[in-house]
Amino acid sequence: MGEIEQFKRVVIIGVGLIGGSLALALKKKGFKGKICGVDSAEVLALAEPRRMLDESYTRDRLLEAVTDADIVFLCTPILDILRLIAEIGPAVKAGALITDVGSTKRTIVETASIYLPMGVDFIGGHPMAGSEAKGVEGADPFLFENTTYVLTPVRSVNEPTRKALGELIELIGAKVLLLSPVLHDEIAAAVSHLPQMAAIAMMTLAAKRQSESPYFLKMAAGGFRDMTRIASSPYGIWEHIRQTNADMIAQYIDAYIEELSSIRDHLNSESLGKIFAAASESRLSIPRDTRGFLRPHYDISVSVEDRPGMLALIANTLLEKNINIKDIEILKIREDEGGTMRLAFATQSERDLSLSLLRDKGLECRKRD
């Protein structure tokens, strides 16, 4: 396993959806080290039948659990991560690595720089993975497959340790993206936190109008339902995000208001069509640029007719040559006509061979650079 071998003892604090899925994924991928979990007795009892942990520790044995850890994953809510960094810092051995899964990074990384002693490395982490399921009972060994896992190494972490963490993350199926904590929090504010606030605002507005007419929510179909789905997210998680990224969220709410105002000013003009076209083109570019990933993917676009068997044709054509599709995404659907799919491959040679094979089958496809 290369550099991963330095992690002989992994300790996961918080054996919930993320922590439990991490443990299961490591087991499934053949990780040879010992996997230990720290949580309440109730959670550990739920984890036990799934055999995801080699050793279990209740919270009162936290310091005992981390003493000989080679790597510690803090898989708890953000404010608990901040508390845990200060608590376990003096107990962790020199040469150990601590990382986390919090959805904001600046405050966590700053806290680590203050409380962790010299000789203990810290790399912030944020797996862009989730599920409708909750807790350890929803843990899934495939949760991280083909997801983006952001790492924010800012302190002087030695190269073998940084590389080992990257390899460990790749082992569970994720793609590692390196960002600074500031850039991570800004991007998260724009593409994750702002949509949440926008969904809350849209839902609140419609609910207020519902008091004037019972048909507002009855007509809420399609687009409205899609855009407001996340309005049902529990506030507990967002309270932690608010406390650690409020300035960035406010910045992007202001920018969003400016964009809405600009669209309002174009409502009586044909220039609105240009705005629609530009937005559509930008949407189709997601995700195009893989710069910053430790191992970039090589993408193609495939035009797919709207008829039975097209997905099977693509999959079977590549399967015959033992080509693995690392990621797949539906980019655009045209009713009764078909759409465009993005396929990602691990190597340039696999991408080029896939293009040739699919074109031989009469499919229209191209490279995505």
Q: What gap in Å lies between CA 62 and CA 37, rounded to an integer?
A: 9
In the chain, what percentage of residues exceed pLDDT 70? Answer: 93
Domain with CATH 1.10.3660.10 in the chain: 184-265
Domain with CATH 3.40.50.720 in the chain: 2-179
Angle at 37 between CA 32 and CA 43, to 5 degrees: 135
Task: Give the pairing type, strands 298-305 and 364-368.
Answer: antiparallel
Of 67-76, 90-99, 138-147, 168-177, the one with minimum mean pLDDT is 138-147
Domain with CATH 3.30.70.260 in the chain: 284-368
pLDDT of 350 strictly over 70: yes
pLDDT band at residue 289 using 50, 70 and 90 as cut-offs: very low
Q: What gap in Å lies between CA 301 and CA 308, rounded to an integer?
A: 19
117 secondary structure, DSSP code: P
**For range 161-171, the mean pLDDT:** 94
**For range 178-196, the mean pLDDT:** 95
3-state secondary structure of 197: helix
For 14-30, write each residue's pLDDT tens digit. Answer: 999 999 999 999 999 99
Q: Is the peptide bond before 153 cis (omega within 30 degrees of 0)?
A: no
Beta-strand ranges (E) seen in the chain are 9-13, 34-39, 55-58, 71-74, 97-100, 121-127, 148-152, 175-178, 298-305, 327-334, 338-345, 364-368
pLDDT of 188 strictly over 60: yes
pLDDT of 195 strictly over 90: yes
Sheet strand arrangement including 327-334: 327-334, 338-345, 298-305, 364-368
Residue 248: both structure tokens together: 């960035």
Look up the CATH number of domain 184-265. Answer: 1.10.3660.10
The 3-state secondary structure of 238-306 reads HHHHHHHHHHHHHHHHHHHHHHHHHHHHCCCCCCHHHHHHHHHHHHHCCCCCCCCECCCCEEEEEEEEC
Angle at 109 between CA 40 and CA 163, to 5 degrees: 90
Q: What pLDDT, on a 0 to 100 scale, did the predictor assign at position 291?
A: 44
Sign of the Cα torsion 281, 282, 286, 289 reads positive
Query: Angle, nearest 10°, between helix axes 106-115 and 78-88?
Result: 10
Which residue, among 148, 153, 179, has the nearest Cα to 164 in the 3D structure? 153
CATH 3.40.50.720 fits 2-179, yes or no: yes
Q: What gap in Å lies between CA 301 and CA 84, rounded to an integer?
A: 45
Q: What pLDDT, on a 0 to 100 scale, did the predictor assign at position 130?
A: 78
Look up the CATH number of domain 284-368. Answer: 3.30.70.260
pLDDT, averaged across the chain: 90
Q: What gap in Å lies between CA 226 and CA 231, rounded to an integer?
A: 10
